Structure 1
Amino acid sequence: MATIRFVAETGSTNADLIAAIRSGERVAEGDWLVANRQTAGRGRQGRAWFDGAGNFMGSTVVRPGPHDPPAPTLALLAGLALYETVVPMLADPTVLSLKWPNDLLAGRAKLAGILLESEGDAVIVGIGVNLAAAPQVEGRETMALSAFGPVPDRDLFARALAGTFDRELERWRSVGLEPLLRRWRSAALPIGSALTVHEPGGAVANGAFAGLDDGGSLLLRLEDGRLRSIHAGDVMLG
């Protein structure tokens, strides 16, 4: 059973768990820290994370073992756990899709994001979900679950997500990566969706979503027809 600690305000739930690990505190796998408000929340590429009241902002810790699938695939696991948590909340779940590596979309709009950070032998998984309100982000569409009906109760959402994440983690360990990738693909953007990838070195690649390779990397069909594996980058809809 996951242990969830709720706090009124903090800088960043990811940063708090990292600090606890660095200080020697034993943070158990499966424990969650959830905040009502974050004053220094972070997203990918160092972007600030919106902390609207009533939204979900929380982090947990995974301690990958030597026989587990590669740790970076925890981003896919977290996305799938989030997708499975939200699906029962919508009258029409077909609006949902996953965008590699870590976004949950409703149509073209971002509903949630995931940030993984490593500290020692631990991976901190931070998740932010627009339950009540969505931020205004220049150049990006955003949406909250409140657009589809009553605002989900944050605490109930936290417990549902923690339970689903725990089950997905057990499957990841016990049956390996292939079943996770198969289920992730079935929830992903349609094949052929136009994507722009901003790579860590500054290069930009344009192409179409062509699925995932066997290791969980993004397959991008380039404009000249070549197929390329993307291992890291900021992916935007074209």
Structure 2
Amino acid sequence: MSSSASWPDGYGRIIRDTCDSTNAEAARLAPTLSQPTWVLAHHQTGGRGRQGREWASPKGNFAATLAMRPTGNAGWAALRSFMIANALFEALALHVRRTRLSLKWPNDVLLDNGKVAGILLESASKGDQIDWLCIGVGVNLSHTPGGIRDAAFPPVAVGEEIDPEQFLTELAGFYATEESILMSLGFEPIREKWLRNAARLGEVITARTQDAEHTGQFKTVDDGGRLILDTADGEIRIAAADVYF
């Protein structure tokens, strides 16, 4: 599909042919930036996901990071994982049917139940206040990464030739809208939008934390972004976990 998206006001853009990882490059640049700035690389030599997992980034796929200085504490900054997920959903929906997409807590986008995109937030803080935040995004646009075995959610790709720089413009515009909503209306409308596209909402799922495994009905996410499960032992709230279903 063609796109008439334009670059959002108030955001910078840096394009690299190659870098180690866009999150690492954004972190290096963050102290010098005067405005929220997207860093895109056409190729990463050391892409990574959550918990240090490798993220393959063949040329033609999408790897970018938004470096910004949000106000507030770490919990407030972390809500941006839901905002970027909403923006990713809308950007991908320009290229595939919306009904094929879903959002998997806490930070994946699924296409036909396979992982098409991942999100990685990294930050630095002074006391309880965030100094800078890097929102990393990887999307399998043209190529499905190979060599990944026994994944609970195997990687999939959009499967069409999409210019990564075009996709960045689309994503940046949708994300700027999410920031405007947060600043004017708070997190609630963002939470509601995320829940409308959530994978397995109302169904039984399993969440594995570092210390335990919990199985129960996925009821909702709360106003802090925590997963709420209705388990045999009662309702529990989980801040971070890997989710399986």
Aligned to 1:57, what secondary structure does the other structure show?
Answer: strand
Contact 1:55-1:130 at 8 Å conserved across structures: yes
Separation (CA, whole Å) in 1 of partners of 2:72 and 2:221: 23
Q: CA deviation at 1:185?
A: 0.5
Separation (CA, whole Å) in 1 of partners of 2:22 and 2:180: 23
Summarize the alignment of residues 93-172 of structure 1 with structure 2, pairs less than 5 Å apart. Answer: 93-120=98-125, 121-136=131-146, 137-140=148-151, 141-146=154-159, 150-172=160-182
Separation (CA, whole Å) in 2 of partners of 1:69 and 1:97: 24
Say whether 1:209 aligns with 2:218: yes
Amino acid of the structure 2 residue aligned with 1:14: N
Runs of 4+ residues deviating >4 angstroms: none
Contact 2:229-2:236 at 8 Å conserved across structures: yes
Amino acid of the structure 2 residue aligned with 1:162: A
Contact 1:68-1:173 at 8 Å conserved across structures: no
Q: CA deviation at 1:208?
A: 3.2
Q: CA deviation at 1:26?
A: 1.9
Aligned to 2:17, what secondary structure does the other structure show?
Answer: strand
Alignment deviations for residues 165-201 of structure 1 (CA, whole Å, 9 cap, x no partner): 11211211121011111111101113234433221x3
Residue 173 of structure 1: which of 156, 161, 183 is its match?
A: 183
Contact 1:34-1:58 at 8 Å conserved across structures: yes
Contact 1:68-1:172 at 8 Å conserved across structures: no
Contact 2:61-2:140 at 8 Å conserved across structures: yes
Residue 20 of structure 1: which of 20, 25, 29 is its match?
A: 29
Q: CA deviation at 1:69?
A: 7.5
- Give the total of aligned pairs: 228
Say whether 1:72 aligns with 2:78: yes
Amino acid of the structure 1 residue aligned with 2:150: G
Aligned to 2:225, what secondary structure does the other structure show?
Answer: coil
Task: Output the aligned Cα RMSD.
Answer: 1.9
Question: What residue in structure 1 maps to residue 237 of structure 2?
Answer: 229
Provide TM-score, normalisation by structure 1.
0.89
Separation (CA, whole Å) in 2 of partners of 1:39 and 1:213: 37
Contact 2:121-2:133 at 8 Å conserved across structures: yes
Alignment deviations for residues 17-63 of structure 1 (CA, whole Å, 9 cap, x no partner): 21233xxx422342111001111111001101111110000001122
Residue 45 of structure 2: which of 7, 15, 39 is its match?
A: 39
Question: What residue in structure 2 maps to residue 48 of structure 1?
Answer: 54
Aligned to 1:191, what secondary structure does the other structure show?
Answer: coil
**For the structure 1 residues 56 and 174, does the alpha-carbon distance in structure 2 shift closer, same or farther, using more than 3 Å as the test?**
same
Aligned to 2:174, what secondary structure does the other structure show?
Answer: helix
Contact 2:26-2:134 at 8 Å conserved across structures: yes
Separation (CA, whole Å) in 2 of partners of 1:83 and 1:221: 27
Aligned to 1:71, what secondary structure does the other structure show?
Answer: helix
Contact 2:101-2:112 at 8 Å conserved across structures: yes
Q: Which consecutive residues of structure 2, in runs of 5 or more, have no partner in the other structure? A: 1-8, 126-130
Q: Which consecutive residues of structure 1, in runs of 5 or more, have no partner in the other structure? A: none
Contact 2:37-2:68 at 8 Å conserved across structures: no
